Amino acid sequence: MSRRGEHDVIVVGAGPVGAALALALAADGFDVAVVEAQPPRPAAREAELDLRVVALAPDAIALLQDLGAWPLPFPERVGSYRRMEVWDATGPGRARFDAAERGEAALGRIVENRHLQHALWTALAGRARVLCPAEAADLDDGDATAALTLADGTRLRARVLVAAEGAESPLRARLGIGFAGRDYGQRAVVAHVATERPHEDTAWQRFLPGGPLAFLPLGDGRSSIVWSLPDAEAARVLALDDAAFCCALGAAFDFRLGPITAAGPRAAFPLRLRRADRYVAGRCVLVGDAAHVVHPLAGQGVNLGLRDVACLRRVLAEARARGSDIGAAHVLRRYERERRSENALAAWTFDAIERVFASTAMPLVLARGLGLEAAGRIGPLRRALAAAAAGHL
């Protein structure tokens, strides 16, 4: 590791995607520096479950295993979903997908963001230069290297600089990369709830006129809910007392698992679709939410970010093996071409699903009901959608 602040790669932002990228590149022998404003919150077996959970697809878990960051600490807190059931509140039709359709043990795992980040930081210790707490203050993207000056005056150089700071990425703004899309006028209300009947290791999703409602199975027997609601309705639901909230949620879920018997703390966040105009500017590259934000109805945001990681890791390793400059335009644009294509497909697919199921036009209600029935009954289509449920678009 260079003492002069010169590195192969600097990763700014060490959430799950940034930390996974730094760990992957360090494991491949690259000299990596990580810049992060805040250390991860500690993970403890006795702590209340983090409200922020992510649904990890099998390929994401395989990447974490390869990096030595899986299994997570306290595996009893990890939920697993072997099936997914989807139905429409305003029309006929339902579909059920099973991991057995793909010969896999599970469609995915439900993990706490805090524990995922803790596992990645633990695996990263000693493998990269970590500067935390630290913030980027200035950027100079030169021909041979990118130079980053931190708020405390520390100056770093690297052949590649990665912005992984999330949707509000200051580096993306500094690079002049546009980040546009649409606001859904909705908020996702999240909470952990207990139900009268067990969740059956199933991810449940009901499409309501105001937005989808998902129940995701947690390791302790509860479910993590993601309830997409118009902004005003989300505010009203957040203000309900626990008993009223449980009644409203149970009704919205059609009491599929019986009454809601308990609910923990609630929070909400705005729903948006955002895509960066480009992923590369000079020697700087975007990954994760800094490059794309999608609707949470399929739970694929982190999975898309980890696929960015796998792609950039492969592209940089192949460039090094050829003796190429890893920060050369033709190298980074290969990553951009691959990931912009898949991420755009995912973003617009999720957006189209949200639009179709939000409509109350009767012809569309009947058509989507028939579509769900077909998805549940036609083997090849059901298997294809089971793959999508597992994150393979």
Residues 137 and 156 in one domain: yes
Q: What is the pLDDT at residue 260?
A: 98
Residues 264 and 349 in one domain: no
For the chain, report the end-to-end CA distance as a whole number of angstroms: 39
In the predicted structure, residue 267 carries a pLDDT above the cut 60: yes
Q: What is the pLDDT at residue 391?
A: 46
Q: Please state which of the ranges 96-100, 121-125, 152-156, 203-207 shows the lowest mean pLDDT.
A: 96-100
Spatial distance between the Cα atoms of 30 and 25, rounded to a whole number of angstroms: 5
Higher pLDDT, 380 or 107: 107
- 109 assigned to some structural domain: no
Query: What pTM does this model have?
Result: 0.91
In the predicted structure, residue 379 carries a pLDDT above the cut 50: no
- 61 assigned to some structural domain: no
Residues 44 and 11 in one domain: yes
Residues 29 and 147 in one domain: yes
The DSSP secondary structure of 177-213, one letter per residue, reads: --EEEEEEEEEEEEEEEEESS--TTEEEEEEETTEEE
Alpha helices in 224-325 (DSSP H): 231-239, 242-252, 301-322
- 1 assigned to some structural domain: no
Spatial distance between the Cα atoms of 287 and 299, rounded to a whole number of angstroms: 17
Nearest to 197 by CA among 247, 260, 243: 260
Note down the domain range covering 168. Answer: 6-54+115-180+273-353
pLDDT band at 66, cuts 50/70/90? Answer: very high
Residues 94 and 40 in one domain: no
In the predicted structure, residue 358 carries a pLDDT above the cut 70: no
Q: What is the pLDDT at residue 334?
A: 98
Q: What is the pLDDT at residue 338?
A: 96
- 62 assigned to some structural domain: no
pLDDT band at 390, cuts 50/70/90? Answer: very low
- 309 assigned to some structural domain: yes
Average pLDDT of the chain is 89
CATH number of 212's domain: 3.30.9.10
For 330, other C-beta atoms within 10 Å of its C-beta total 9
Residues 324 and 286 in one domain: yes
Higher pLDDT, 393 or 149: 149
Q: What is the pLDDT at residue 375?
A: 54
In the predicted structure, residue 292 carries a pLDDT above the cut 60: yes
Residues 39 and 128 in one domain: yes
- 70 assigned to some structural domain: no
Q: What is the pLDDT of residues 29-64, one digit of tens each?
A: 999 999 999 988 888 888 888 999 999 999 999 999
Residues 131 and 45 in one domain: yes
Report the sign of the C-alpha dihedral through residues 16, 347, 388, 224, in that order.
Answer: positive
- 73 assigned to some structural domain: no
How many domains is the chain built from? 2
Residues 204 and 260 in one domain: yes
- 66 assigned to some structural domain: no
Nearest to 69 by CA among 119, 23, 113, 14: 119
Buried b (16+ CB within 10 A) or exposed e, 2-24: eeebbbbbbbbbbbbbbbbbbbb
